[in-house]
């Protein structure tokens, strides 16, 4: 559904302002490449927070508490 919405919005932009639509089409791969480091950092932060959560709840799990 997200792909269809993106395609429809891009088609609308192509009809309204075709130079901007073509520029967006050409710059999209570059922006995707530039976003890769931010995705890696986001994944790393999520993993660190999961580790902290596991360490925080470790005493309760050792004592036998099983969460839902």
Q: Where are the domains of the chain?
A: 2-62
Full-prediction pTM beyond 0.75? no
In the predicted model, is pLDDT for residue 67 greater than 70?
A: no
pLDDT of 54 reads: 93
Report the candidate in 10, 30, 31, 5 with the shortest Cα–Cα distance to residue 21: 10
User: What is the pLDDT averaged over residues 25-39?
Assistant: 94
Contact 24, 10 (CB under 8 A): yes
């Amino acid at each position: 559904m997200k792909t269809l919405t993106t395609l429809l919005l891009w088609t609308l932009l192509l009809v309204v302002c075709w130079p901007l639509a073509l520029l967006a089409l050409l710059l999209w791969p570059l922006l995707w490449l530039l976003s890769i480091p931010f995705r890696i950092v986001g994944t790393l932060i999520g993993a660190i927070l999961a580790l902290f959560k596991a360490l925080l709840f470790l005493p309760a799990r050792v004592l036998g508490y099983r969460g839902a």
